[in-house]
């Protein structure tokens, strides 16, 4: 990968469509945003799905834990009606379905390996990476995670030139450089509100693209561009006019 994306739609265009759904990715594409950030987890039967939470309640009409669900059961969920009537019946997307859509739309994908409490990072990486590497070219892919063991496992699947990895932090720690070196990271991702100019300078001077989540106020975010931030992950990136 040579150029980090400037504008990335957080969980798809989640300001206008239900997060982490096929509809949200289509909405991002229709709005002219060609990169999306999505979360992936495994169902109880090992099927990779695009989903953020540990349970089903917030973003579907279901109840219970994601890891108690089979693919057949997941297919009956409504993952869109909670957002609005226009999205009623929107399915929980499998990774296979999402990759097919992203390929058809020729979009870039920042896929977060979401390791919720009690879940196995190795199983997640092993269940996701072979499919991902087959489906997306390196220049249109970043795999990120807050969970270092998940990234370490992901790195076993491909070298840096084939698999760009993003080290994801809430607040960037003092040992960020050694953590990035341990996984041959491509980029650093952090909460924009917790980023400081000095730390941003360290990262950009070391040659890492710096991506910030989840920024929705272009005016408040604006100074970060001057700090060398490469890209913004936003619920509505159409509000931003990123410098060229």
Which positions are annotated as active-site residues? 10, 52
Instruction: Go through 87-97 and write b for each residue having 16 or more CB atoms within 10 A of its CB, e for each that does not.
Output: beebbbbbbee
Q: Are 111 and 144 in contact (CB under 8 A)?
A: yes
CA gap 109, 140 in Å, rounded: 6
Q: Is the Cβ–Cβ distance between 26 and 101 less than 8 Å?
A: yes
**Sign of the four-CA dihedral 91, 95, 99, 102:** positive
Burial 228-239 (b: 16+ CB within 10 A, else e): ebbbbbbbbbeb
């Amino acid at each position: 990968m040579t150029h980090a994306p400037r504008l990335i739609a957080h969980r798809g265009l989640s300001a206008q469509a239900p997060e982490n759904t096929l509809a949200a990715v289509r909405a991002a594409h229709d709005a002219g945003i060609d990169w999306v950030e999505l979360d992936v987890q495994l169902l109880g039967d090992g099927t990779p799905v695009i989903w953020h939470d540990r349970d089903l309640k917030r973003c579907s009409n279901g109840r219970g834990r994601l890891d108690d669900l089979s693919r057949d059961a997941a297919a009956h969920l409504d993952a869109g009606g909670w957002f609005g009537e226009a999205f009623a019946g929107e399915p929980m997307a499998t990774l296979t379905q999402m990759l097919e859509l992203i390929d058809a739309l020729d979009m870039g994908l920042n896929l977060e390996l979401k390791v919720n409490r009690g879940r196995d990072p190795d199983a997640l990486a092993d269940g996701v990476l072979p499919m991902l590497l087959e489906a997306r070219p390196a220049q249109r892919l970043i795999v990120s995670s807050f969970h270092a063991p998940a990234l370490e496992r992901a790195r076993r699947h491909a070298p840096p030139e084939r698999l760009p990895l993003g080290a994801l932090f809430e607040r960037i720690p003092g040992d960020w450089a050694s953590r990035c070196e341990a996984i041959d990271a491509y980029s650093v991702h952090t909460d924009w509100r917790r980023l400081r100019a000095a730390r941003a300078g360290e990262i950009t001077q070391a040659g890492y693209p710096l991506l910030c989540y989840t920024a929705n106020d272009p005016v408040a975010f604006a100074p970060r561009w001057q700090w060398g931030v490469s890209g913004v992950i936003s619920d509505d990136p159409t509000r931003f006019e990123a410098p060229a």
